[in-house]
């Protein structure tokens, strides 16, 4: 409990008002932006989505876009062949089966191309403020460094341990804070350990602080 409070208080002090960094204007733009963010950064995604949604301003337009054109727009974010297919397929399904809206249902969401558990959790937490903790690479790394999860735990186990660690009403906020902490402070390479107030809890501190 003491450890949970210490982590929570520190995250609150660093990120009192955490926000999703993806730019979007409606439910499907958010879902597609999350799908596009796999294996790349939100910053990069934000460079292509305004172009994509300006060129194709509706799901109907996206559904009818050529794969070649979608690939050209998505090229800067990598994995653009598969991501172009996901965008077109998602737009087709949402347009034809869901009246141009994103279903608020886990099973239906996960049945969409390119949408896994993490994407589903990010979407429901961000758009509908549902209690969920999505485990991406940052959340996974930080949770393991702070001893919330074991190094050998898979993402599902990390998610379960995070849900046991933090009260349900905090899940959405903690997810965003852990992402931001991992992105800007507890980075994969050269984390800022010297300034980190969680150093006494950390399993990696000795590896990351240069000896004097």
**Positions marked catalytic:** 118, 136
- In 30-65, which positions are buried (b, 16+ CB within 10 angstroms) versus exposed (e)? bbbbbbbbbeeebeebbebbeebbeebeebeebbeb
Closer Cβ to ligand SF4, 11 or 133, answer by number: 11
Cα–Cα dist 72/52, whole Å: 10
- Our finding on whether 7 is near ligand SF4 (CB under 6 A) is no
Task: Name the minimum Å distance from CB 98 to ligand SF4.
Answer: 41
Question: Residue count at the site for ligand SF4 (CB under 6 A)?
Answer: 14
- Our finding on whether 183 is near ligand SF4 (CB under 6 A) is no
Tokens of 51: 């172009």
- Our finding on whether 90 is near ligand SF4 (CB under 6 A) is no
- Our finding on whether 198 is near ligand SF4 (CB under 6 A) is yes
- Our finding on whether 144 is near ligand SF4 (CB under 6 A) is no
Between CA 80 and CA 85, with CA 83 as vertex, the angle to 5 degrees is 110
Task: Name the minimum Å distance from CB 7 to ligand SF4.
Answer: 9
- Our finding on whether 186 is near ligand SF4 (CB under 6 A) is yes
């Amino acid at each position: 409990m003491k450890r949970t409070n210490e982590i929570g208080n520190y995250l609150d002090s660093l990120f009192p008002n955490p926000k999703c960094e993806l730019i979007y204007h409606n439910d499907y733009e958010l879902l597609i932006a999350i799908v596009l963010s796999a294996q790349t950064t939100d910053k990069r995604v934000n460079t292509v989505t305004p172009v994509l949604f300006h060129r194709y301003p509706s799901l109907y337009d996206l559904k009818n876009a050529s794969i070649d054109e979608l690939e050209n727009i998505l090229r800067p974010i990598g994995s653009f062949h598969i991501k172009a297919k996901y965008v077109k397929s998602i737009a087709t399904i949402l347009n034809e089966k869901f009246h141009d809206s994103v279903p608020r249902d886990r099973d239906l969401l996960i049945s969409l191309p390119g949408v896994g558990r993490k994407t589903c959790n990010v979407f429901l937490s961000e758009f509908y403020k549902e209690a969920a903790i999505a485990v991406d690479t940052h959340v996974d790394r930080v949770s393991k460094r702070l001893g919330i999860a074991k190094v050998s735990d898979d993402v599902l186990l990390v998610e379960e341990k995070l849900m046991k660690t933090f009260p349900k009403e905090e899940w959405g906020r903690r997810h965003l804070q852990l992402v931001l902490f991992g992105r800007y402070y507890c980075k994969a390479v050269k984390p800022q350990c010297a300034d980190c107030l969680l150093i006494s809890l950390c399993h990696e501190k000795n590896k990351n602080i240069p000896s004097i």
